[in-house]
A and B are shown apart, each in its own frame.
Chain A
Amino acid sequence: EIVLTQSPTTMAASPGEKVTLTCRASSSVSYMHWYQQRSGTSPKLWIYETSKLASGVPNRFSGSGSGTSYSLTINSMETEDAATYYCQQGSSYPPTFGAGTKLELK
C-alpha cells in the first residue's frame, strides 16, 4: 500500500499570502489528485492528474509534482480557501488518501 504523507498537518495563512501544501508518497505514483473539504460538507475534487484544475476551481490554485513528491499551491490566499485538503493516489491499489492539511485563515 502506498502511504501518502501530507505536510503541514495544520497551517494558517493571511489573505493574499502564498500557500504551499505538500504530499509525499512512499512509492512513485503516476498522478496525484487533491480534494477540498469544507467543514460539514462532502469532499470536492479540486485538482486532478497532478496539475489540472477541476471545474469551477479558481486559477489561483495550481498543482505540480512527480514521482513521490507533489504540491498544491494557492497564489494568493482568500477567505473561501479555508478548508482541509486531501491528496489521493489511484495509480496503485488500494487507492489511498493522505491524512489531510487543515488550512485556516489567519
Chain B
Amino acid sequence: NAGVTQTPKFRVLKTGQSMTLLCAQDMNHEYMYWYRQDPGMGLRLIHYSVGEGTTAKGEVPDGYNVSRLKKQNFLLGLESAAPSQTSVYFCASSSQDRGYGQNYGYTFGSGTRLTVV
C-alpha cells in the first residue's frame, strides 16, 4: 500500500551515540515533516522540507539535523543522543497546497520509538 514508511521501528541508544531515522514516501509528496510525540506535549515539529534539497527548522530543532537528498526520502539525524531525546518520532508528508484547499492533510508513518539511556 502507498504511504509513509519509517525505519527503524524501535531503537535503544546510549547517551552520546548517533543514529539516523529514515522516512520514505511513495506518494510523490512535495512536503515532508518530522515530529516528536511526548506525553502531555502533543506533536511538536522538529524540521520540515518543502522540496528536494531544502529543509527548515520547526519548533524544536536543537540536537537534530535533517537531509532531503531525494524527493521521496527525509532523514532525521541525532549526532549525539541525549536522554531528553527519548520520544516517539513520526514522519509525515503532504502534497503541495496550491491555494485551493484541496490538500487532504498529512499522511503519517507508524513511528519510531527511541529510548536514550
Q: Do A and B come from one complex?
A: no
Binding site for B on A (CB under 8 A): none
